[in-house]
Structure 1
Amino acid sequence: MTAEDPTHPDLLQRWNATLLAARAGREGPDPAPYGHNLLARWAEPQRAYHTVDHLRAVLDRVDELVDQGGEGGELELVRLAAWFHDAVYRPDRSENEERSAALAEKALTEAGLTGHEVREVARLVRLTVTHDPAPGDLNGETLCDADLAILATDPDTYRGYAEAVRTEYAFVPDEAFREGRAAVLRQLLSLPRLFRTPYGAAAWEERARENLERELRELTGAS
């Protein structure tokens, strides 16, 4: 979406369709105000990577996983979790996922989802703290793979992602940032698999590890 069109009507349409599909014909309030609120959150000035573009990318990767033989799960709830997973984002705070999950619980209850549906969306949002879904957690595997897909982009795109993350943490001194970022990279590399869906593992795993290892070498000065 161009800078001249800050309302992102295509995303709002996707939000409306997702919420209505999740509600499955049940009565409820107009989805649009909730979508506008979320889009405003994703456009907050403290964001450089966790922006509307990231939201759009995660939604697109969910669709890609489905198109490539997604193994089931409650896909509309996964899409709702994508909308909420970074809806609250302050780089200087550690409870963003918890606050985003709480926002989802409040908003989706008001919007007419059932208790199960609300709990599942909130669970998925909280799962993005670790990106480590349990085996057989189809919803969690899809959301986490879609969220981590940025790691498997080409080197220039990945470098832009890493630079945007650094911009969000501009208040952190260089040495402290390098140490913290290196810890995050090591945690990801320690996972037996970054991507849990068959398609994600086949299409994204190798390149993602190459990107992570390259960034870690650059941060630590390792050869």
Structure 2
Amino acid sequence: MTSLPDRFRTAARGAGATAADADLDSAANYLLGRWTEPQRHYHDVTHLSAVLDVVDRFAALAPHPDRVRLAAWMHDAVYDPRALGDANERDSAEFAEGLLLTLGVPAEAAAEVARLVGLTAGHATEENDPDGELLCDADLAILAADEEGYARYTAAIRREYAHVSDADFRAGRARVLHELLNLPSIYRLAPIRDGWEERARANLRTELETLA
């Protein structure tokens, strides 16, 4: 099995990085250090690997899959459960662009990766944005997990928000679930939507019933 640093190096090269392999490996290991910070229970290396696996599985749907892979690496590079609004995504996007530029990724590609990272704040994409759609669909893949996997996900999210009271957490989480259920479609790309939409909606409805 290809290691995560190897996957990062391959994606960076595909996006035009000119840095030495040793520098790319150092960047990957630095990112992995971020993904293993103690405040992370769901937004961790397991989530990173899962998002990358979905991107790889459906890479043919995206015109620039290596940019999507790099955005997957970067999309939770900054993660503080106490942050307000979309601060984590904004900071991750800014961090992504800066890091990629230091690795010799062309400015246009680095800016595009940063744009993709920013989309994960609300998972809203414009028309004709298959790269963005693939990243957002991959990030939300967990919603279509089986019963056991979804239970692990919700438990991990609750641990990340241990500083929030039960009542406030239930109210905030319910708002998120309602927003997702009110979308015309949770998943944007047809092959993903056809396979996962029904299961994801069932999971969200079940969780809402539990919260109530």
Q: Structure 2 length normalisation: TM-score?
A: 0.95
Q: Tell me the CA shift for residue 165 of structure 1.
A: 0.1
Distance 1:73 1:190 in 2: 29
Q: Tell me the CA shift for residue 120 of structure 1.
A: 0.6
What pairs with 1:141-156 in structure 2 (closer than 5 Å)? 141-156=133-148
Q: Please point out which of 82, 86, 91 is paired with 1:99.
A: 91
Matching residue of 1:178: 170
Q: Tell me the CA shift for residue 64 of structure 1.
A: 1.4
Matching residue of 1:192: 184
Q: Please point out which of 139, 153, 157 is paired with 1:165.
A: 157
Matching residue of 1:84: 74
* 5+ residue gaps, structure 1: 2-8
What pairs with 1:127-146 in structure 2 (closer than 5 Å)? 127-146=119-138
RMSD: 1.3
Q: Tell me the CA shift for residue 190 of structure 1.
A: 1.1
Q: Kindly, what percent of the aligned residue pairs are identical?
A: 48
SS at match of 2:15: helix
8 Å Cα contact 2:55-2:134 kept in structure 1: yes
Distance 1:199 1:211 in 2: 19
**4+ residue runs of structure 1 moved beyond 4 angstroms?**
none
Distance 1:73 1:195 in 2: 18
Q: Tell me the CA shift for residue 83 of structure 1.
A: 0.1
Matched, 1:14 2:7: yes
Q: Please point out which of 51, 55, 58 is paired with 2:48.
A: 55
SS at match of 2:12: helix
Q: How many matched pairs?
A: 208
Q: Structure 1 length normalisation: TM-score?
A: 0.90
SS at match of 1:88: coil
8 Å Cα contact 1:20-1:31 kept in structure 2: no
Distance 2:130 2:115 in 1: 13
Q: Please point out which of 61, 65, 79 is paired with 2:58.
A: 65
Deviates more, 1:53-62 or 1:94-103: 94-103
Matching residue of 2:201: 209
Q: Tell me the CA shift for residue 27 of structure 1.
A: 3.0
* 5+ residue gaps, structure 2: none
Q: Tell me the CA shift for residue 28 of structure 1.
A: 2.3
